[in-house]
A and B are shown apart, each in its own frame.
Chain A
Amino acid sequence: MEGRMLVAAGSLTIVSIFLIFGALLIHPFGVPNAYKMDQYIIDHTQNESGANNGVTAVVFDYRGFDTLGEATVLFTAVAGVILVFRRVKKE
């Protein structure tokens, strides 16, 4: 038990040090490194997807397939919950 706590503390320390370093090294909030993608979406959304809302255009048009995937995640979760809570014939 002692050893386990020691290992846990050690590895958590290392992981958090690395993640904090990572957080410090990423570029500051609101100042993107590169914004070609953002600019493209701002420029072309209205023409290409015909929507005023850029966020919805990204979610349902440019990355619509991801949204289908996310909707499928929900579908999977529902199917899983219904499956797990079904009535089972006891042997």
Chain B
Amino acid sequence: MMSKIVKTIAGISFPFITIYGLYVIAHGHLTPGGGFQGGAIVASGLILLLVAYGTDWIIEKIKESHLSILESLGALGFIGVAFLGLIFGGMFFTNFIAGTSMLFGGIPTSTAANINTGGTLPLMNFAVGLKVIAGLFAIVLVMAYAISKEEGE
């Protein structure tokens, strides 16, 4: 349990951290970064909340089992895109969107950064981002919960 100042500052900065992390995830195929990095940024924002507001407050809002399901969904999305590559492209992990007229199918030019490019890369980035957010936060949450229970007993 932290003081009111810490809580307020954490509450204010949390949305900005989240937005920044989501930006890094979404622009993974254009700028440095990607699913892993952006996911870690968002997870660190969540951990900031956990530190500021205490484990009990967080555990009321979100259970570790929910995070586990979210993480599974992220992983399934990743491997699902790979399987779609097998179905549409003939090989596991084929980038079947690149160069087609589908979403994210554009061919990039060397000057302008167009977010509608990258083929399957943005999809995989989203999946990995979801997975990393849920996974990293789940690790910290479970550990913090275990410690707080031990101290409580």
B54 at the interface (CB under 8 A from A): no
Closest to A72 in B: B75
**Residues of A close to B110: CB separation below 8 A:** 46
Helix, strand, loop or mixed for chain A's interface? helix
Cα of A57 to Cα of B108 in the assembled complex, Å? 12
B135 touches A50 (CB 8 A): no
**Residues of B close to A79: CB separation below 8 A:** 68
A56 at the interface (CB under 8 A from B): yes
Q: What's the minimum C-beta distance from B21 to chain A, rounded to whole angstroms?
A: 16
**Residues of A close to B136: CB separation below 8 A:** 74, 78
**Residues of B close to A60: CB separation below 8 A:** 28-29, 34, 120-121, 124-125
**Residues of A close to B124: CB separation below 8 A:** 60, 64, 67
Within 8 A of B (CB), among A54-81: 55-57, 59-61, 64-65, 67-68, 70-72, 74-75, 77-79, 81
Size bracket, chain B contacts: 35 or more
B58 at the interface (CB under 8 A from A): no
Cα of A59 to Cα of B120 in the assembled complex, Å? 12
Within 8 A of A (CB), among B102-148: 104-108, 110, 113-114, 117-121, 124-125, 128, 131-132, 135-136, 138-139, 142-143, 145-146
Contact sample, A vs B, 7 pairs, CB 8 Å cutoff: A49-B118, A50-B108, A51-B108, A60-B125, A61-B121, A71-B78, A85-B143
5 extra A-B contacts, CB within 8 A, seeds A50-B98, A71-B128, A81-B139: A50-B95, A52-B118, A60-B34, A71-B131, A81-B142
